[in-house]
Amino acid sequence: MLEIIFYILSAITLGTAFLTVFSKNPIHSAIYLVVCFFSLAGHYVLFNAQFLAIVHVIVYAGAIMVLLLFTLMLMNLNKEDEVSKPKWVSFAALISACILGVVLIAALKSAQPEVMDYANTGEDFQSIKVLGKVLLNEYQVPFEFASVLLLVSMIGAVLISKKEEKI
């Protein structure tokens, strides 16, 4: 039964990920991305990581997607206003993507997994108490950097979308 649910969630995740990338409408892409985030949260539940699933839904499907939708709405993307790019730009992007793909495949082929013996300490690392201590002690600075980064990106979106006054 779990295997069937896993395959259904995988199909939903992959389908909505492709629709996110290939959709012409940015709002539709954002909605497909939300569905993809929820299906990934379903994978976390299958892996018995309920706290991670809830945090994933709150942070990504909630906060990040609201920020993305506000940014898209503020930018007011219209096809009429978009300047067409020369053909060589598309060709250069395709060549760059192919080179990046070859490099990633070569890196993945040469990577070797690290085999280790895990010591059983008896401590439950999925408990909220342990996660809270780790996140707020060891990873407090990256959390603060992430909040500043989100604030700066929101301010940048507002400044980009601001119409210039003609004199």
Contact 67, 153 (CB under 8 A): yes
Instruction: Decide: 14 and 43 in contact? Cβ < 8 Å.
Output: no
pTM of the model: 0.57
DSSP secondary structure of 57-88: IIIIIIIIHHHHHHHHHHHT--TTTPPPPPHH
Ordered by where they begin, the domains of the chain are: 2-81+150-161 (1.20.120.1200)
pLDDT at 105: 92
Report the distance separating Cα 37 and Cα 31, nearest Å.
Answer: 10
Query: Tens place of pLDDT for every residue, the chain, 167 residues?
Result: 889 999 999 999 999 999 999 988 877 888 898 899 999 999 999 988 888 888 888 888 887 777 777 777 776 665 555 567 788 888 888 899 999 999 989 888 888 777 777 777 776 766 777 777 887 888 888 888 888 888 888 888 777 777 666 66
Structure-token pair, residue 113:
């997994």
